[in-house]
């Protein structure tokens, strides 16, 4: 028991940074900069975009369109494009949706460090659990914010 407690209480350093999403120009990000969260050198959101571009081009086009639209618009009211998690435990986390498609890209807003949309992870409709994908986004958001409070 004592051994477990020691294990849980020990701390591990984790590197976090924001990376650019290639192929988005200044006009696409006139209102919001769009970035992907990278943890320990890996970005689930960017990896998903790269995979969709290769294997699911129709869904990728739809997600990219939503990215371009939201990057250049402060607010998107259309829930077929941007939807907030309906689970109140998740707080302010959202998904970009491929309308009539399967791809979903989870994100949150950072309005204190600029005006940034931070893409965290993906969800493929019909595979896995959407609520869990939002929960992952929320947890990654918490890591990001704790890091930013430490290094403003």
Residue 31 Cβ, how far from another protein at the closest point, in Å? Answer: 10
Task: Identify whether the C-beta of residue 94 lies closer than 8 Å to the C-beta of residue 107.
Answer: yes
**Residue closer to another protein (CB basis): 2 or 77:** 77
Residue 125 Cβ, how far from another protein at the closest point, in Å? Answer: 19
Return the exposure string of 98-135: e unless at least 16 CB atoms fall within 10 Å of the residue's CB, then b.
beebbbbbbbbebeeeeebbbbbbbbbeeeeebeebbb
Residue 102 Cβ, how far from another protein at the closest point, in Å? Answer: 18
Residue 8 Cβ, how far from another protein at the closest point, in Å? Answer: 5
CA–CA separation, 42 and 46 (whole Å): 9
**Residue closer to another protein (CB basis): 74 or 126:** 74
Q: Catalog residues that contact another protein under the rule CB under 8 A.
A: 7-17, 22-27, 30, 39-44, 46-47, 49-50, 53, 61, 64-65, 68-69, 72-84, 91-92, 94, 99, 109, 111-112, 121, 136, 139, 143, 145-152
User: How many other C-beta atoms are found inside a 10 Å radius of the C-beta of residue 39?
Assistant: 15
Task: Identify whether the C-beta of residue 143 lies closer than 8 Å to the C-beta of residue 120.
Answer: no
**Residue closer to another protein (CB basis): 1 or 151:** 151
Give the count of alpha carbons within 13 A of 4, CB side only.
Answer: 1
**Residue closer to another protein (CB basis): 11 or 126:** 11
């Amino acid at each position: 028991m004592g051994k477990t407690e020691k294990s849980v209480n020990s701390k591990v350093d984790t590197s976090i940074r924001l990376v650019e999403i290639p192929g988005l120009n200044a006009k696409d990000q006139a209102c919001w900069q769009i970035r992907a969260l990278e943890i320990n050198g890996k970005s689930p959101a960017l990896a998903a975009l790269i995979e969709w571009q290769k294997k699911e081009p129709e869904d990728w086009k739809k997600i990219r369109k939503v990215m371009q639209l939201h990057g250049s618009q402060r607010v998107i009211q259309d829930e077929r494009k941007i939807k907030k998690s309906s689970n109140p435990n998740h707080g302010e986390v959202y998904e970009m949706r491929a309308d009539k498609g399967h791809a979903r890209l989870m994100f949150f807003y950072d309005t204190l460090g600029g005006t940034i949309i931070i893409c965290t992870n993906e969800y493929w409709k019909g595979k896995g659990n959407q609520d869990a994908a939002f929960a992952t986004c929320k947890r990654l958001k918490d890591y990001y914010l704790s890091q930013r409070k430490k290094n403003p």
